[in-house]
Structure 1
Amino acid sequence: MPTPRFFADKICPVRAKRERRKEARPGELLAAALDLFVEKGFAATRAEEVAARAGVSKGTLFLYFPSKEELFKAVVVENLGGRFAEWNDEFEAFEGTTADMLRYCMRVWWERVGMTKASGLTKLMMSEGTNFPELAEFYRKEVVRPGHTLLRRILQRGIDRGEFAPVDVDHAIYAVVAPMVFLMLWKHSAMVCVDEETSLDPEKYLATQAETVLYGLTRPQGAAA
């Protein structure tokens, strides 16, 4: 039997379309904000520009996000911070070696974040974080700390299983973070980090960096535990 919503849509298609549009608005605003924050930076982006790009009024934007700061926080959670539950579930379910897990982690990071516009949020925070300490702390809480915690779990898994040599995990995670940060700077800085005569394949670069890290972590054959 058709639902009441079905009859409402048939009777008043304009109202039904308006309601569906209203439901989609937060996502449209977040997408527009991500585009502008990455293109112009946080300070230079104006709320009315975000609203215009999303096709709504400035007042409508503030119905969903009371300030530009809250809008930025929502963009960070939507594109980065909110994904750690999924990534931790993948960690729990992974059945291969820890070396393969680390390779997978770096490759998937590029596919899901590094090659997308969301990677520009990291460059933005690196360049503007000192001017907006509250946002910088929010970014550390939602992105940096969960990311480092996940990397610690990966490295500690390898150590506990005897696959990796015992290392200072708190510092070893930066050996994994560094090539990711480099790629984000390369992508969002007109690629000036690389000689224009040299072609950089991000996937090959990360695969090479993963092997470099792993050869430094893997316990040599026959070495004492």
Structure 2
Amino acid sequence: MPLSPVSEAPPTDTHTRRLRRKDARPGELLAAALDLFVDKGFAATRVEEVATLAGVSKGTLFLYFSSKEELFKAEVREHISGRFAQWSEEIEHFEGNSQEMLRYCLNCWWERIGATKASGIPKLMMSEARNFPELAAFYQQEVIQPGSALIARVLQRGVDRGEFRPMDLKYAVYMVLAPLLFLTTWTHSLGTCCDPASQIEPEHYLAMQLDMLLRGFSTTSAPPGAGLS
């Protein structure tokens, strides 16, 4: 009597869980690293701590990221620089006026970065860049340059359409960036320990900053409600 062909056994539940676990590890490592980088700083964070928090071994971490520096770069790309292509596309197809566009940009920044744990990354870079020049150069190339270019596009659009008065774009970009950087620095420093009466409401703060910016940039007075909506 011929033997019946042996069918391949389906993967076990344990095997499936292991595959899912392996697929999830980069994201878990990035989440753990973000918590530690923001809370402790880059220099004080050890890869062993990241691995422990993510529930893996240090060796497993190095399978995905060759060094702490590469882990940090992946963090920046995941939460900030990886968003620039989408933001550029949104700006390219924006149909409102330039005041509305600038308002939209600040809204998006707050919703996608400012209100998240990733808002601690800019503050970390400002405090530790001098001690890590290679990371500072990376951040300049990956975040500051493309981010400044996007803001400059918005402002230049306003100038070209006669909605904004002519301006020195280099320093106008810094004017837009300044309140964002202040807010991230405050949120992750004095904002964590000051008394309730001194706390800043981020949305209200950005609304006031935007109102002042638009009144300064515009060829006419900014309309009522020019802040974040």
> TM-score with structure 1 length normalisation?
0.91
Partner SS for 1:197: helix
Runs of 4+ in structure 1 displaced over 6 angstroms? 192-195
TM-score by length of structure 2 reads 0.89
Structure 2 counterparts to residues 63-82 of structure 1, below 5 A: 63-82=63-82
Decide whether the 8 Å contact of 1:98 with 1:163 is kept in 2.
Answer: yes
Q: Percent identity?
A: 60
Flag the structure with larger Rg.
2
Q: Distance in 1 between matches of 2:122 and 2:105?
A: 18
> What are the Cα deviations for residues 85-143 of structure 1, in whole angstroms up to 9, with x where unaligned?
11111101210010011011112211110111101011111111000000001011111
Where does 1:47-196 land on structure 2 (aligned, <5 Å)? Answer: 47-191=47-191, 196=196
Change (3 A) 1:103 1:195: farther
Segments of 5+ residues of structure 1 without an aligned counterpart are 1-6
Pick closer, same or farther for the CA change 1:44–1:59 going to 2, 3 Å: same
Which residue of the partner structure matches residue 3 of structure 1?
none
Q: Matched residues in 1 for 2:173 and 2:17: separation?
A: 49
2:225 alignment partner in structure 1: none
Q: Could you tell me how far 1:198 is from its partner in structure 2?
A: 3.7
Q: 1:194: Cα distance to partner?
A: 7.3
| Post-superposition offset of 1:190 | 3.2
Change (3 A) 1:220 1:63: same
SS in 2 for 1:28: helix
Q: What is residue 15 of structure 2 aligned with on the other side?
A: 15
Is 1:185–1:193's contact at 8 Å kept on the other side of the alignment?
Answer: no
Contact 2:38 2:120 in 1 (8 A): yes
Q: What is the deviation of 1:199? A: 4.3
Q: Say if 1:170 and 1:19 are closer, same or farther in 2 by CA, change over 3 A.
A: same
Q: CA RMSD in A?
A: 1.9
What runs of 5+ residues in structure 2 fail to find an aligned partner? Answer: 1-6, 222-229
Q: Does 1:26 align with 2:26?
A: yes
Q: How far does residue 52 in structure 1 lie from its aligned partner after superposition? A: 0.4
Task: State how many pairs are aligned.
Answer: 215
Distance 1:9 1:162, change over 3 A: farther
